[in-house]
Structure 1
């Protein structure tokens, strides 16, 4: 809603791009895993990690359901396979090999801070990706479109992109071009 606001964690990417951080992104991002698990626990208890109370009851209930469902799935996996290792693998899998996702997430707003007041078609970027990558990324590569109309379902973003492109409202770039400029 408020891209580039001081509280906006998406646009103000906190990723560390040191060699050790990139190594963790390639392997297992333990920092992100710790953060997500602790946030899930705090939120299910009705608190933010800062200790401040969450005032939105549906958000607390949602956090509790997510935590309970994941505990049930891990318990079923452990019971069905008699393997703690497979249950832990279920827990660790979302935090494994995240480098590509980090690069794509970074590409959505990187270098566009000076356009924060110019609207979503300027402060966010659309990336051309192969169909399979776009699908696996839930079409979030159509990021300007997502910010312009967040209620549009992910599967309709490519069609919305074509409409905006046809009418000259938007441009898109390739991942190769973004990476070339990102290195600079």
Structure 2
């Protein structure tokens, strides 16, 4: 039975996190995975290329060696194993699982902040501090999004929790209370 990408990602990401913890390298591995994630963002088909049956083993090896030049230690060895098991196309899911575990360990809430108009960096930092306090985390990292349909206010989604302070939801609540 072939495992889906999500399951593979969870297993490999968990294994990498546990190895990093064992060697007290979680912060260093996390930083390396940020770089690796950036590579996969820049070249979205990299995983497919490295698992493509139309390429020879030597061609794949040359591409992989080029990628490995950017990493060392645990991350480099991890990538070699993932490549050897032909799972390189699942790396983004592995990174996601590692990051999830890293955030839990370090009490970091990641998510989005949606507003009707752009907010200043100062206001974003203020909201992040408040969200961290409300959710009981050390820190909140929120990606700003703009959605004019919320009319005003703020909607924060972090770690599967939502704080909806949008004008649109307040108006909907008012309509419901008035029976309209």
TM-score (norm 2): 0.25
Whose relative contact order is higher, 1 or 2, with alpha carbons under 8 Å and at least 6 apart? 2
Larger Rg: 2
TM-score (norm 1): 0.24
